[in-house]
Structure 1
Amino acid sequence: MFVLSLVYLMLTIIRPQDYMPALTGIPLLPVVLLLAFLLWLGSNTKVFAGPQFLLLLLFLLALMVSDAANGWVGGALVQLKTFGPIVIAFFVLASAIAASPRRVVVAFFVFVLCSIVLALHGWNQTRVGVGWTGTPLSLDGRIQYVGIFNDPNDLGLLFATAFPMAVYLSGRGGFLRRVIWLAGAALLLYGIFLTNSRGAMLAVVAIGAVYLWRRRGLVTALVLSGVGLVGMMMMPSRLQQLDVSESSAFGRVDAWYEGLHMFLAKPLFGVGAGNFTDYNELTAHNSLILVLAETGFFGYIIWLAFVGYGFWMMLTILRQAPPPSDDAEQAKAWQVERGLAFTLLLSLTGLFTAAFFLSRSYTVLLYLVAALVVGEYAGARQRFPDLPHFRLADGWWRWLPIAMISIAALFVMVALLLHSA
Structure 2
Amino acid sequence: MLIFILLYLALTIVRPQDYMPGLTGLPILSVVLLLAFFSWLLSSAKTFAAPQFMILPVFLLAMMMSQVAAGWAGGALEVLSAFGPTMIAFFVLATVTANSPRRIATTFAVFVLCACVLALHGVDQSLNGIGWTGVGMAEDGRIQYVGIFNDPNDLGLLFAAVLPMACFLSGRGGFLRRIFWLAAAGLLLYGVYLTNSRGAFLAVLAIGGAYVWYKRGIVTAGILGSVGLVAMQLLSSRMQELDADESSAAGRVDAWYEGLHMFLSHPLFGVGAGNFTEYNYLTAHNSFVLVLAETGFFGFITWLAFVGYGFWMMLKVLRSPPQPAAEGVVGAWADERTLALTLLLSQLGLFAAAFFLSRSYTVVMYLLIAVLVGYYVGVRKRYPSLPSFSLAEGWWRWIPIALGSIFALFVIVEVLMHTS
Normalising by the residue count of structure 1, what TM-score does the alignment of the two structures yield?
0.98
Write out aligned runs for 1:40-55 (5 A): 40-55=40-55
2:349 is aligned to 350
Write out aligned runs for 1:10-21 (5 A): 10-21=10-21
Write out aligned runs for 1:151-166 (5 A): 151-166=151-166
Q: Secondary structure of 2:235's partner?
A: coil
Deviation at 1:236, TM superposition (A): 3.3
Answering whether residue 188 of structure 2 is matched by residue 188 of structure 1, we say yes
Q: In structure 1, give the amino acid aligned to 2:416.
A: L
Q: Comparing 401-410 with 229-238, which one deviates more in the overlay?
A: 229-238
Q: Distance in 1 between matches of 2:396 and 2:67?
A: 26
1:36 is aligned to 36
- Residues 259 and 290, structure 1, Cα contact 8 Å, conserved in 2: yes
Instruction: Describe the superposition over 1:23-70 as per-residue Cα deviations: whole angstroms up to 9, x where unpaired.
Output: 011101100000100010111000111100110000000000000011
1:262 is aligned to 262
Q: Comparing 270-279 with 216-225, which one deviates more in the overlay?
A: 216-225
Q: Distance in 1 between matches of 2:321 and 2:219?
A: 24
Q: Distance in 2 between matches of 1:353 and 1:181?
A: 24
2:386 is aligned to 387
Q: In structure 1, give the amino acid aligned to 2:74.
A: G
1:217 is aligned to 217
Q: Comparing 130-139 with 331-340, which one deviates more in the overlay?
A: 331-340
- Residues 116 and 187, structure 1, Cα contact 8 Å, conserved in 2: yes
2:133 is aligned to 133
Gaps of 5+ in 1: none
Q: Secondary structure of 2:22's partner?
A: helix
2:116 is aligned to 116
Q: Distance in 1 between matches of 2:316 and 2:120?
A: 36
1:324 is aligned to 324
Deviation at 1:220, TM superposition (A): 1.7
Deviation at 1:351, TM superposition (A): 0.3
Instruction: Describe the superposition over 1:201-234 as per-residue Cα deviations: whole angstroms up to 9, x where unpaired.
Output: 0001100111011101122212221221122112
Write out aligned runs for 1:265-284 (5 A): 265-284=265-284
- Residues 101 and 336, structure 1, Cα contact 8 Å, conserved in 2: no
In structure 2, relative to structure 1, the CA distance for the partners of 1:279 and 1:326 (3 Å cut) is: closer
1:299 is aligned to 299
Deviation at 1:243, TM superposition (A): 1.2
Calculate the aligned-residue CA RMSD, in Å. Answer: 1.0
Q: Distance in 2 between matches of 1:326 and 1:364?
A: 39
Q: In structure 2, give the amino acid aligned to 1:95.
A: T
1:359 is aligned to 358
Q: Distance in 2 between matches of 1:94 and 1:160?
A: 21
Q: Distance in 1 between matches of 2:37 and 2:350?
A: 26
1:149 is aligned to 149
Q: Secondary structure of 1:22's partner?
A: coil
Q: Distance in 1 between matches of 2:329 and 2:289?
A: 44
Instruction: Describe the superposition over 1:90-116 as per-residue Cα deviations: whole angstroms up to 9, x where unpaired.
Output: 000000111110000000000000000
Instruction: Describe the superposition over 1:230-257 as per-residue Cα deviations: whole angstroms up to 9, x where unpaired.
Output: 2211223310111111111111110000
1:399 is aligned to 398
Q: Distance in 2 between matches of 1:321 and 1:79?
A: 41
Deviation at 1:19, TM superposition (A): 0.3
Q: In structure 2, give the amino acid aligned to 1:54.
A: M
Deviation at 1:332, TM superposition (A): 2.7
Q: Comparing 229-238 with 147-156, which one deviates more in the overlay?
A: 229-238
1:98 is aligned to 98
Q: In structure 1, give the amino acid aligned to 2:90.
A: F
Instruction: Describe the superposition over 1:299-329 as per-residue Cα deviations: whole angstroms up to 9, x where unpaired.
Output: 00000000000000011111122433288x7
Q: In structure 2, give the amino acid aligned to 1:25.
A: G
Q: Secondary structure of 1:234's partner?
A: helix
Q: Secondary structure of 2:325's partner?
A: coil
Write out aligned runs for 1:179-258 (5 A): 179-258=179-258
Q: Distance in 2 between matches of 1:306 and 1:371?
A: 11
- Corresponding residue pairs, total: 420
Gaps of 5+ in 2: none
Q: In structure 2, give the amino acid aligned to 1:68.
A: V
Q: In structure 2, give the amino acid aligned to 1:218.
A: I
Q: Secondary structure of 2:66's partner?
A: helix
Instruction: Describe the superposition over 1:245-301 as per-residue Cα deviations: whole angstroms up to 9, x where unpaired.
Output: 111111111000000000000101000000000000000000000000000000000
Q: Comparing 222-231 with 258-267, which one deviates more in the overlay?
A: 222-231
- Residues 66 and 272, structure 1, Cα contact 8 Å, conserved in 2: yes
1:2 is aligned to 2
2:415 is aligned to 416
Answering whether residue 342 of structure 2 is matched by residue 338 of structure 1, we say no
Q: Distance in 1 between matches of 2:280 and 2:236?
A: 32
Q: Distance in 2 between matches of 1:71 and 1:406?
A: 28
Q: Distance in 1 between matches of 2:39 and 2:228?
A: 47
Q: Distance in 1 between matches of 2:304 and 2:202?
A: 21
- Residues 65 and 76, structure 2, Cα contact 8 Å, conserved in 1: yes
Percent identity of equivalent pairs: 66
Q: Distance in 1 between matches of 2:356 and 2:344?
A: 19
Q: Distance in 1 between matches of 2:236 and 2:116?
A: 23
Q: Distance in 1 between matches of 2:169 and 2:311?
A: 21
Q: Secondary structure of 1:325's partner?
A: helix
- Residues 160 and 350, structure 1, Cα contact 8 Å, conserved in 2: yes
- Residues 322 and 331, structure 1, Cα contact 8 Å, conserved in 2: no
Q: Distance in 2 between matches of 1:286 and 1:163?
A: 22
Which 4+ runs in 1 deviate beyond 4 A?
none
